[in-house]
């Protein structure tokens, strides 16, 4: 099935409204492209809930800080379209805007320089014209929010823009980005978006590595080393199921496994699945969340423990 390619915001909005006027329901799968099987599983999940599927492909500059990997983020639009065509029942629209922050003002869109303002470093998006950001204040503070202070405001803002442009009934997010999924759920609840947010289970490669567009940057040696993340998470879950419920001990075992493999951990946290607050002892549903560096590649992964 050949999807319709839409690049203009107004055309996208008009298509959605015309479909809704016909009584059709719309599902959205937001992506930054370079699709892998994990992304395709999100589309399969979305097909269970709505009649029409929109996949957005947009590398959002608003969530990258000036020292991060925006310029090297992998891209293959033609390959992405071919993968989408291979899905049973396909997708209806690929929304691939050039710039969601273009308001018709002559200016340099992406200025690669560090900017300091009250409140800290801003994103690499030149924001002299774009001033409005969405913050989910408590949920964004920990884990990825510590080392990437502009990330979640950029994610929440661009997702809100996509919701306003596409007006979906359902949006599907992968649980690999666990904190992001919970943040979007909370934003939708707090701001009364008429969108049902669904979390789709994390997908892994056959060797256990969590699927990620960044995996392509790992050398063969680094990829083998990175398997320490998933191995340590499965071991922590097994230990918790056998009665070892002290978070500090489980956390230490995950860190030691990653470091022994040659990785450098950004964070390892055991948090409540809803509030994302750290817990000292595992009693109810928690999630073990990890971010670690192997070479110049930062990987994230998690494991739910009920």
Domain boundaries, the chain: 4-200, 213-301
- Whole-structure pTM over 0.85, yes or no? yes
In 242-290, which residue ranges form alpha helices assigned H by DSSP? 247-260
- Whether 39 is catalytic is yes
pLDDT of 14-42, one tens digit each? 999 999 999 999 999 999 999 999 999 99
**Strand bridging mode 52-57 / 93-95:** parallel
Nearest to 235 by CA among 253, 252, 247: 253
Q: What is the per-residue pLDDT for 265?
A: 97
CATH dotted code for 213-301: 3.30.1300.10
Does the pLDDT value for residue 116 go beyond 80? no
In the block, residue with structure tokens 């392509």: 216
Right CATH number for 4-200 from 1.10.10.10, 3.40.50.620, 3.30.70.141, 3.30.460.20? 3.40.50.620
Edge-first strand order for the sheet with 297-305 is 264-272, 286-294, 297-305
Catalytic residue among 39, 49, 78, 217: 39
Given a cut of 50, whether residue 61 has pLDDT beyond it is yes
């Amino acid at each position: 099935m050949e999807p319709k390619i839409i690049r203009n915001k107004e055309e996208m909005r008009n298509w959605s409204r015309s479909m809704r006027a016909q009584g059709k329901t719309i599902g959205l799968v937001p992506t930054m492209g370079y699709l892998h099987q994990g992304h395709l599983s999100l589309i399969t999940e979305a097909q269970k809930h709505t009649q029409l599927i929109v996949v957005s492909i947009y590398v959002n500059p608003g969530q990258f800080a000036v020292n991060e990997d925006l310029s090297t983020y992998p891209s293959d639009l033609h390959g992405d379209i071919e993968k989408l065509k291979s899905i049973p029942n396909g997708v209806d629209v690929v929304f691939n805007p050039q710039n969601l922050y273009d308001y018709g003002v002559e200016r340099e869109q992406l200025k690669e320089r560090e900017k300091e303002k009250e409140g800290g470093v801003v994103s690499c998006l030149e924001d002299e014209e774009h001033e409005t950001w969405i913050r989910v204040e408590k949920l964004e503070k920990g884990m990825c929010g510590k080392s990437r202070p502009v990330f979640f405001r950029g994610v929440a803002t661009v997702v809100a823009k996509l919701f306003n442009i596409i007006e979906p009934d359902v949006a599907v997010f992968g649980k690999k980005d666990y904190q992001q999924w919970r943040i979007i759920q909370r934003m939708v609840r707090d701001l009364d978006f008429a969108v049902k947010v669904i979390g789709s289970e994390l997908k892994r490669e056959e060797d256990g590595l969590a699927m990620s567009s960044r995996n392509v940057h790992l050398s063969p040696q680094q990829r083998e080393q990175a398997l320490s993340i998933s191995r340590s998470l499965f071991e922590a879950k097994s230990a918790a199921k056998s009665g070892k419920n002290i978070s500090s001990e489980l956390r230490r075992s995950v860190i030691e496994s990653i470091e022994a493999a040659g990785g450098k951990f950004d964070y390892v946290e055991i948090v409540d699945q809803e509030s994302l607050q750290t817990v000292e002892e595992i009693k109810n549903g928690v999630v073990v969340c990890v971010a670690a560096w192997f070479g110049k590649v930062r990987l994230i992964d998690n494991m739910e423990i009920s």
